[in-house]
Structure 1
């Protein structure tokens, strides 16, 4: 049975990154490190209550926005520290010129706090102070501690112990992938209907999803055990007010745990008491609050996409990976992408996605679920819709725009003010290939300025940009970049500076018809796990490709005179796609 982790959707994913990148306090001022962990812990224990109250309480909502903004800033800063430490170690290692200096240089590999840029330390102090000020307000806002935490003991353990304990939060459970179960969740055409069912039809639909596989005798007679579940189930079904999507979502939620105590807990959730007239359906909020942390974050990210958008599983999973929303698999044989796909399948089983009835291999999200994602994370996402669009705010992290008609999103210069931007993503409301134009006298200068000012970008897609012929050299400034898509552009060469992007996981240059070669130092992209250069003129692979130990997906593979034997290692662990 899957572990349903309460609360912690705000900060627990940060703790995992903190553990991975800062395994010891030697890379950060110990006092700041301790204060940061303590502040995050203090916020995390009330996060669950804050999420429930922010729907109807403006002050709690503003507090929660401040917390999320601070945590996202902290994530970026931790990554910068890790980049700087890795760079320092690499420089020391490369400066080794003789064996007589080996011991001396190895001793230097323990980077001291003094080696961290003073600007980073100053920013860290600001973030810690901001989070501590938010902690001081939690009692004023009457935020309650989640009962899953032992708040009284938190001051009796060290920050390192807190980190170790909190790393266990949000453990990934088993994900059902049986096609029959997916079919049950998504088969009903009623899921897209907004009309309300009568009491009898509501109960029939709810029971179909809540009791499937729970008690095979349900259709014939009730056992003593299921009679108790029927009593609670009818209370829950009544609270769904005849809305098909709500009945299906809550039915699927209850089916996952047959414990009567669990059913009663869902029935008594405070989320059912959302004010009348609120656009958020209480049943969907209950379903969201019951998600484990890792699924909450993946669902929230969908606020970046417009209503009616056609989701492609492969694309969305790669974006989740780029945003560090995927927990690293504990089993070596499981890839990051496979874990991401299991998250997607789990959200299907919980009715957050449904297969499109018109387009094969695409998925849709109900408008009511989309409203929910926007209410939770919409302040951090901005979709350009022309003149009717509002201005981006200082906390905007994700930018997207529709490009179904050939043209350009006017006003891209406003992006230069969004210095915290993480995502730049063109979108289409169809499943067909789209095209768009930068439409500036020199798009290279435009992109160069974007790369200089928006250094926190993790996702950069220029896919389908018809006047994209050259990628600026200062692409190397984007040290946080995880995902780069240049597919269907007119580029003929990739700059060498691309190979300095330590965190790059995904590189797509599919159908770049003028591209003839890949960078010679591609092997330096040690975190690369997805490489697609199909539809290009590339016929020779760079040397030392065998060093890409994290590579999981490769579109093409060429063996020629210029290739070294280490490339043969790729066939052992790479999945080839066409």
Structure 2
């Protein structure tokens, strides 16, 4: 994630520019090194945007950026320690009446030793950065200084409703016909929808799922996102929650309440509840984004789903034809790319204000050439149309059409380069926020309030220019901007707790690709890079603990599973630069006393 280097450089400069450093930097004899460090970072930051834009075409430049990022992160952590002492001094000034208590709380190190250690660290970082800065001349980089991006409130025309689906009427009719067919020999039929990523398999399944005729035909409808993790216990929970949410008796029941109920049940209890839920009902179940090729796992789940009445149906969406063949009881429905006519229609609706604004002939001609490169993928069309929305400069459209990323070697079914192009055109502040979303699993339901707090904790939100604006307002603008670019979707308004939204699985793949080596999901089988800074822990066990013991630069830990208190204590004692510790979905109720030792140099 070399792009993050620009963001870290900006944060380091903000830290160095703080007046709070003036007094201590002089008293500790490090002012000269801090001044030199500020000059070096400023000079590097001026060419970072150009370096990041060109890194794909030059391995040496990419390696240089990687080294630079590591040193900038170290500088950020050292300056955090420095800031800690600034805050400590302020607290002691204000709390002289409780001096002994404060002194005890901050007694993690001898002040004289700390001054010496800090001076040594700052000098070391400055010297390493000087060495790296000396190499930038060989890469022929141009200055593109734009540290403060102005945030504009942008009209959102298609973010809070599902994107308009075009060209799928015939596909929808075929699936509906299959749903209403009766087969006496197969009580529960499985209908696979198969196609490459980004074609709209999930969108088609939603069209069918919410069709009035389908709703009235089935007594129970359920939806579960499967993705790579075909865990039968997890899927049973998802199916049961969906069943409860769509049944009349569960109106008003919160998902969090349902999740708590099912989380505490054993596998046997879950299986019994599923059997009872499906018994004597004609149901429709959608298993979205299936990758599993393990027949044993599928047969186990399928046996549990056989309790439904004849005429029950399961729709499976998958990119893998072998999965479709193994699971289906009818031939797979192959979803093809949209015709150029429909693609251009979709592009015009999203790029030209849903067709209401003026359509410039010269831009439409360029847009047609861009659409041809999308190879019939609605997701690619939507993403690039959203990128060009409200832009009338012909040169901006040509830069998208002629971008070098189109010339990279890729498979016919690979649209990640298209999504990468959209990412490359994001403002810096949105790039950073987008990449951090890779920490959350596929099909994760983001809450706007939670995500904004998460971004705030990492210092990713720009300071408001308007004194009437809060950081939360800035975060809302960021979310709306990412929605308008089709990087967030499936928005659901919840008037009690904001609203929720998701990322398309291919957009999530892009975030994972960019964040590689920086953000990681931790499982028993994962392999973590030594430089990883942000973790989402999905499994427990000695294998996970062993992986964590190899790390030292972690800033984020999200616990998504019950863990023993020992692992929390180990994380707090080892990772001194934690900025986010999320225990929302864990079993922890009390923090260990060692939480007070964070960010204290010993």
TM-score (norm 1): 0.64
How do residues 370-449 of structure 1 correspond to structure 2 at under 5 angstroms? 370-386=508-524, 388-390=525-527, 392-402=528-538, 410-427=543-560, 436-439=561-564, 443=565, 445-449=566-570
Give how far 1:227 is off: 1.3
For 1:115-142, what per-residue CA distance to the aligned partner results, in whole angstroms no more than 9, with x for missing partners? 97221222222222232222233344x3
Aligned counterparts of 1:132 and 1:276: Cα–Cα separation in 2: 38
Q: Of the candidates 116, 121, 126, which is equivalent to residue 123 of structure 1? A: 121
Aligned counterparts of 1:448 and 1:138: Cα–Cα separation in 2: 42
1:171 is aligned to 2:149: yes
Aligned partners of 1:81 and 1:116 also within 8 Å: no
For 1:394-424, what per-residue CA distance to the aligned partner results, in whole angstroms no more than 9, with x for missing partners? 2110111226xxx668532542432211111
Give how far 1:326 is off: 0.9
Aligned partners of 2:344 and 2:371 also within 8 Å: yes
1:241 is aligned to 2:375: yes
Q: Of the candidates 285, 288, 294, which is equivalent to residue 429 of structure 2? A: 294
1:198 is aligned to 2:339: yes
The residue aligned with 1:320 is 455
The residue aligned with 2:141 is 144
The residue aligned with 1:460 is 581
The DSSP-based 3-state class of the residue aligned with 2:537 is strand
The residue aligned with 1:502 is none
Aligned partners of 1:185 and 1:349 also within 8 Å: no
1:134 is aligned to 2:132: yes
1:209 is aligned to 2:350: yes
Aligned counterparts of 1:55 and 1:355: Cα–Cα separation in 2: 32
The residue aligned with 2:220 is none
1:47 is aligned to 2:15: no
Which is greater in Rg?
Answer: 2
Aligned partners of 2:533 and 2:554 also within 8 Å: yes
The residue aligned with 1:542 is none
Give how far 1:249 is off: 1.3
> Mean Cα displacement is larger for which, 6-15 or 203-212?
6-15
The residue aligned with 2:312 is none
Aligned counterparts of 2:140 and 2:487: Cα–Cα separation in 1: 28
The residue aligned with 2:445 is 310
Q: Provide closer, same or farther for how the CA distance between residues 303 and 25 of structure 1 changes in structure 2, counting only shifts above 3 A.
A: farther
The DSSP-based 3-state class of the residue aligned with 2:516 is helix
Aligned partners of 1:383 and 1:399 also within 8 Å: yes
The DSSP-based 3-state class of the residue aligned with 1:182 is coil
Q: Of the candidates 395, 399, 407, which is equivalent to residue 265 of structure 1? A: 399
Give how far 1:17 is off: 4.0
Q: Which runs of 5+ in 1 are unaligned?
A: 98-112, 150-165, 219-225, 428-435, 481-578
Aligned partners of 2:489 and 2:503 also within 8 Å: yes
Aligned partners of 1:303 and 1:374 also within 8 Å: yes
1:230 is aligned to 2:364: yes
Aligned counterparts of 2:159 and 2:136: Cα–Cα separation in 1: 41
Q: Provide closer, same or farther for how the CA distance between residues 256 and 30 of structure 1 changes in structure 2, counting only shifts above 3 A.
A: farther
How do residues 348-387 of structure 1 correspond to structure 2 at under 5 angstroms? 348-355=483-490, 361-386=499-524
Give how far 1:200 is off: 2.1
What is the RMSD of the two structures over their aligned residues, measured on CA atoms?
Answer: 3.5
The residue aligned with 2:236 is none
The aligned length equals: 415
Aligned counterparts of 1:199 and 1:213: Cα–Cα separation in 2: 18
Aligned counterparts of 1:16 and 1:244: Cα–Cα separation in 2: 41
Q: Which runs of 5+ in 2 are unaligned?
A: 99-110, 169-197, 202-335
